[in-house]
Amino acid sequence: MKARTLRRSAASAQRFIPASGDLTEFVEALARSRGRPTVLLGVAFDAEAPSGVWIVTDKRDYIAYPNDASAARKAAIVCHEVAHMLLGHDPPPGTEGLASLAASAAPTLDLAVAIRLLARHGYASEQEADAEGLGTRLAAELARRERLARAPRDRVYDRMR
């Protein structure tokens, strides 16, 4: 993908990243702009499952990540999947059956079983590389803003910024 498209997608995403650096707020803001709710699902992944997956249904998107992931790992996985959205990638092939299952049974669905059937090779390697690059930039910006939001502040500090 052209560097210009990546830069444009990164710049576009900046407006959705909250000053707090909160991942959930970021995903919710992006979902509102896309007009599609996005649900973050912590799932018990096994060793053969992908590290994360973006699932599209008629009514909403789901981003599944390992429920035992650290906060930083969760942010990296979610931002990678968000990057696929921002870059206009189609969801990976093979998620159609899972999408319809998620649409009808989302509140009680054990996605771990269904995700075992998915291979994370649904994207061309160039798309994966682009999503990884953009996702890493987004996760780093979230972390930077979170650090700034937690930093002790005073009037002198605020004037220096």
Q: Count of residues for the chain?
A: 161
Query: In the numeric block, which tokens belong to residue 2?
Result: 């052209």
Half-sphere exposure of 93 (CA within 13 A, CB side): 4
The verdict on residue 95 lying in a domain is yes
Residue 135 lies in domain: 3-155
Mean pLDDT calculated for residue range 109-125 = 49
The verdict on residue 22 lying in a domain is yes
Which pLDDT belongs to residue 93? 60
Q: Is the pLDDT of residue 62 over 60?
A: yes
The verdict on residue 89 lying in a domain is yes
Of 52, 132, 45, residue with least CA distance to 92: 52
- Percent of all residues in the chain with a pLDDT value above 90, rounded to a whole number: 41
Q: In what helix (H) or strand (E) does residue 54 lie, and over which residues does it extend?
A: strand 53-56
What does the pLDDT look like over 4-17, one tens digit per residue?
A: 887 888 888 999 99
The least confident of 7-11, 75-79, 96-100, 133-137 is: 96-100
- For the chain, the domain total comes to 1
| Strands 61-66 vs 38-43: parallel, antiparallel or unpaired | parallel
What does the pLDDT look like over 12-61, one tens digit per residue?
A: 899 999 999 999 999 999 999 999 999 999 988 777 777 888 888 778 88
User: Is 152 within 8 Å of 158 (Cβ atoms)?
Assistant: no
Mean pLDDT calculated for residue range 88-115 = 54
The verdict on residue 160 lying in a domain is no
Which pLDDT belongs to residue 58? 78
The verdict on residue 93 lying in a domain is yes
Classify 44 as helix, strand or coil: coil
The verdict on residue 36 lying in a domain is yes
Tell me the sheet residues that pair with 54: 63
What is the C-alpha separation between 77 and 132, in angstroms, rounded?
9
The verdict on residue 161 lying in a domain is no
Which pLDDT belongs to residue 105? 40
Which pLDDT belongs to residue 4? 81
What is the C-alpha separation between 86 and 30, in angstroms, rounded?
9
Q: Is the pLDDT of residue 2 over 60?
A: yes
Radius of gyration of the chain (CA): 17
How many helices and strands, by DSSP H and E, does the chain display?
Answer: 7, 3
